[in-house]
Amino acid sequence: MSMKKWTDEELITTRDNLDAWDKRRKSSGAGSKMWLLTALLGAFAISTGVAFIFLDGIDVMSVILIVMGAVTCFSWYRSDKQLKDNIGFLAEINKEIKARKLKDTSKSTNKMDEHIKEIKEDDKQESSETESQVTDKK
């Protein structure tokens, strides 16, 4: 997908959304480890089901173990693939933003900049009022 036709605003909002997702993913901590454990349990279920079929013959429980293990492993594979795609996409967006030489203008940064500008303007007005009062007294 070509990002050259995207507007600057679309790039920045997409980057902000992916950054928020990445922070949530990293802050969960044990989530990725538990997901890996789930994948290993799925693989164990498949191997157990196959072993029971060889030892006891085809049984409903063996087939259920194989199917559930396959579903679990497939879910892990899809989520891991999506994780890698999202991280790669975030890197591409950051590269495109650097190529366009856009400033880092996330929503929170814009609000803070506006607040800082308002404070500076208020300070300037107060200092000019103070100077005018001093000159009036002379």
CA atoms of 39 and 111, how far apart (whole Å): 43
pLDDT 10s digit of each residue in the chain, 138 long? Answer: 577 777 778 888 888 888 888 888 777 766 677 888 888 999 999 999 999 999 988 889 999 999 999 999 999 899 889 888 888 888 888 888 888 776 555 554 555 555 555 565 655 555 555 445 544 554
Going by C-beta distance under 8 Å and a sequence separation of 6 or more, which residues neighbour residue 15? 90, 93, 94, 97, 106
Return the closest-CA partner of residue 76 out of 43, 108, 47: 43
pLDDT value for 43: 93
**Where are the domains positioned within the chain?**
8-105, 107-138
What secondary structure does DSSP assign to 81-102, as a single string?
HHHHHHHHHHHHHHHHHHHHT-
pLDDT value for 108: 47
User: Number of C-alpha atoms within 13 angstroms, CB side, residue 81?
Assistant: 6
